[in-house]
Structure 1
């Protein structure tokens, strides 16, 4: 069987970087395509590529620029021909680094910037990379015996529990909540369209928990110690979910522990 191929968008740090490390370590042989805005400044990612020169390829891609995404997809198509997994992990809490606590903090540009990175980017990624996922070999997830429900690839959009409309009891964080709620709708739409394709692509949103990354760091003091996860723990949980995905689970959002999240 050919080696699995995974593309991790937003791979220079945080969850994205850990996804690269986890797959290289635990799914051998495998090939990882790591994308980020500025590869030359991604010291840790460059170091990881040095350790796995034949298995890790770094591709320049700014998720806010459609031309970057199109060019990256063409490069991946030419060099690899297919994908089995795509994880969209880039996220922006807010351009200021802090979520809005009230309506007076809201600005049009803040909302637009957050939506562009968190929602528009992953959807445009799907536009250009879905054809490569349709050529995948289903190396991630679980394949049923029923041919009609087998899948070729998986799209994972990293969401957040605060994007759940049904779970929102506190308010605030307008831009981030809206962007993740919209991302969940994009996931649902993608699951319907790509679920009609032959072969099928599974599409899910995954919540990683509160992770010790730059995005959440301003709010760590409010998080109980046992609920603040390392990137290693969070990605380990998420990869366990990914490896159990099948077509019956497409179009849904899941918590880090595998529980389904309300939209």
Structure 2
């Protein structure tokens, strides 16, 4: 069997970067296509590239720009014939007044805790990165996913191949409408709820292909990353995961996926989350 191909969208930091590390160290045969908005600033990705020469390619792709996604997909199609696992990991977290929270951007107060903090600019920016971006990635890379299927998910030997590639969207528990009992965090909740709907839609359309593509949303838990670190003051230490621990849990979920599990959202421990 040919080496599994994994595309990680949003690979320069946080969970995306750790997915790259995990796959390169735990899946000896796998090759990784790591995409991010600014490869020239992705120092840790350059380190991985040096450590795993020939197994990781870093590619520029800003999911806020459809032309960028389209161009990246053309480049990838010229390089590989399939994608076995696609991980949509990039995200933005709104801060006070709807401003965008990015690493190194200074200390900002907790975002959109009430309606007065909401701005149109903040909502649109968050929705674009967290929901529209992954949907566009699905649009332009689905053809390669339909040709994938090696190395990830359950593929019972006694039956015909159940699925081809796997698409995993990183959601958040706060995006669950059924679980929302506190309110606040308007644009972030809305963006992750929209991402969950995109996952559901993708699972239906790509579930009709031959072979079928598995599409799921997964909640990584509360992870100690640059993006969310300012909001951890009330999180118990045993509920705060390192990126490594979170990705270990999420990859266990990926390895257990099959067509019976497509179109759903899962918590880091494998339990199903309500929409």
Q: TM (normalized to structure 1)?
A: 0.98
Partners in 1 of 2:121 and 2:48 — Cα distance? 35
Partners in 2 of 1:146 and 1:165 — Cα distance? 37
Range with greater deviation from structure 2 (95-104 or 205-214): 95-104
Preserved contact between residue 64 and residue 117 of structure 1 (Cα < 8 Å): yes
Partners in 2 of 1:151 and 1:96 — Cα distance? 37
Kindly report which structure 2 residues correspond to 1:92-241, keeping only aligned pairs within 5 A, or say none. 92-94=92-94, 95-97=99-101, 98-144=110-156, 145-147=158-160, 150-241=162-253
Residue number in structure 1 paired with 2:47: 47
TM superposition shift of 1:96: 3.6
* 1:13 equivalent in alignment to 2:25: no
Partners in 2 of 1:3 and 1:236 — Cα distance? 21
Residue number in structure 1 paired with 2:30: 30
Preserved contact between residue 99 and residue 175 of structure 1 (Cα < 8 Å): no
Residue number in structure 2 paired with 1:73: 73
* 1:247 equivalent in alignment to 2:255: no
SS at match of 1:35: strand
In structure 2, stretches of 5+ residues that fail to align are 102-109
SS at match of 2:34: strand
Preserved contact between residue 153 and residue 254 of structure 2 (Cα < 8 Å): yes
Q: TM (normalized to structure 2)?
A: 0.94
TM superposition shift of 1:12: 0.3
Preserved contact between residue 30 and residue 55 of structure 2 (Cα < 8 Å): yes
Preserved contact between residue 93 and residue 176 of structure 1 (Cα < 8 Å): yes
Preserved contact between residue 3 and residue 31 of structure 1 (Cα < 8 Å): yes
In structure 1, stretches of 5+ residues that fail to align are none
SS at match of 1:162: helix
SS at match of 1:110: helix
Give the aligned length: 262
Residue number in structure 1 paired with 2:104: none
TM superposition shift of 1:219: 1.1
How big is the alpha-carbon RMSD for the aligned residues of Structure 1 and Structure 2?
A: 0.9
